[in-house]
A = this chain, B = another copy of it.
Amino acid sequence: MEQVKLTILGSGSALPSGNSFPCSQILEWRNKQFMIDCGEGAQIRIRQAAVKSNRLGHIFISHLHGDHCFGLIGLISSFGMLNRTADLYIHSHGDLKKLMQKQLDYFCTELPFNIYFEPFHPKKNETIYEDRTISVSTIPLKHRVPTAGFLFREKQKDRHIKRDMIDFYEIPVWKIPKIKQGADFETASGEIIPNRLLTTPPDPAKSYAYCSDTMYFEKIIPIIQDVDCLYHEATFASTEAVRAQKTMHSTAGQAGKIARKANVKKLIIGHCSARYKTHQQLLTEATNEFENTALAEDMKSFYF
């Protein structure tokens, strides 16, 4: 069964530390790549993590705080030097284009590819990307500026055809796609072979939810219900609960609580404040609420 690969490029929060770059990750899924947030140094981490970025066509920016987008100009500039030709789509709050255009015009002249800014409304839960196999929708979050998380959802996959049945009924190749999608087969003699005899159920469709930055916000629960993997920010430990509230971030315990209430399969916590030398305490607090929790680390890959 094909797995989804999530590589953390930057697991840090607003102030980067030596080990934790600002927010960025790469999702590799069904032979495509998606970037989520692009903090300073994302292009460097891509090289350090030995991620090939040639299939990266869409970048999703959760909100316009510097630690989530200052890496874009460098990434784009380097793509230009590397003679990338494929279109690049940047999905974000509408202000981003205005903020970047002047620098793009000055520093990135004669780019050999097109950049398309695709604005979305962070307060709406809507589909902002869709292809044959995957859709991406926004998850309205609650932070100091308009912010959206992203829900990646695989579309229902094809059923698996039984090889021996193709041979037995001499099913022509051109009919197979329809059968994989659930159609019955009619033999030359007019006999109807029901689909359940010809196929086995498809692999379950995967889903991934990215929620950063946000304070504890229960309204996201129905949207992210049952996802295979949830990345949720956990900027603070419970001792800083007041500061979390004030800066509209979450504690690790709150991240765990959201994961439990949403019945997700796996939780990854990140965006941990640079004030913590290790993140063990944060992991413990999240795990107390939701057992299957892992810590994000720069250049670490997760599979689900």
Q: What is A's interface to B at a CB cutoff of 8 Å?
A: 14-18, 21-22, 40-41, 43-44, 47-48, 64-67, 70-71, 73-74, 77-78, 81-82, 95, 98-99, 102-103, 106-108
List residues of chain B with CB within 8 A of the CB of A77: 66-67, 70
Are B107 and A103 neighbours in the complex by a CB distance under 8 Å?
Answer: no
List residues of chain B with CB within 8 A of the CB of A78: 14-16
Are B41 and A81 neighbours in the complex by a CB distance under 8 Å?
Answer: no
List residues of chain B with CB within 8 A of the CB of A66: 73-74, 77, 107-108
Are B47 and A44 neighbours in the complex by a CB distance under 8 Å?
Answer: no
A99→B99 CA distance, assembly (Å): 10
List residues of chain B with CB within 8 A of the CB of A14: 78, 81
Are B106 and A95 neighbours in the complex by a CB distance under 8 Å?
Answer: yes
Q: What would be 22 A-B contacts, judged by CB atoms less than 8 Å apart?
A: A14-B78, A15-B81, A16-B43, A16-B44, A16-B74, A16-B78, A18-B47, A21-B44, A40-B40, A40-B43, A40-B44, A40-B71, A40-B74, A41-B44, A64-B107, A66-B74, A66-B77, A66-B108, A67-B77, A70-B107, A98-B102, A103-B103
A65→B77 CA distance, assembly (Å): 10
Other 18 A-B pairs with CB < 8 A, given A40-B71, A66-B77: A14-B78, A15-B81, A18-B44, A41-B44, A64-B107, A65-B107, A66-B73, A66-B74, A66-B107, A66-B108, A67-B77, A70-B74, A70-B77, A70-B107, A95-B106, A99-B103, A99-B106, A102-B102
A176→B45 CA distance, assembly (Å): 56
Give how many copies assemble into the complex: 2
Are A18 and B48 neighbours in the complex by a CB distance under 8 Å?
Answer: yes
A48→B66 CA distance, assembly (Å): 20
| With A41-B40, A102-B98, A106-B99: A17-B64 Cβ-Cβ less than 8 Å | no
List residues of chain B with CB within 8 A of the CB of A106: 64, 95, 99
Smallest CB-CB A-B distances: 4 pairs? A18-B48, A40-B74, A41-B41, A66-B77
A274, chain B: closest CB distance, angstroms: 9
List residues of chain B with CB within 8 A of the CB of A67: 77
List residues of chain B with CB within 8 A of the CB of A70: 73-74, 77, 107
List residues of chain B with CB within 8 A of the CB of A21: 44
Are B43 and A82 neighbours in the complex by a CB distance under 8 Å?
Answer: no
A75, chain B: closest CB distance, angstroms: 9
- Specify the chain B residue showing the minimal Cβ separation from A72: B70
Are B73 and A16 neighbours in the complex by a CB distance under 8 Å?
Answer: no
Are A47 and B16 neighbours in the complex by a CB distance under 8 Å?
Answer: yes
List residues of chain B with CB within 8 A of the CB of A64: 106-107
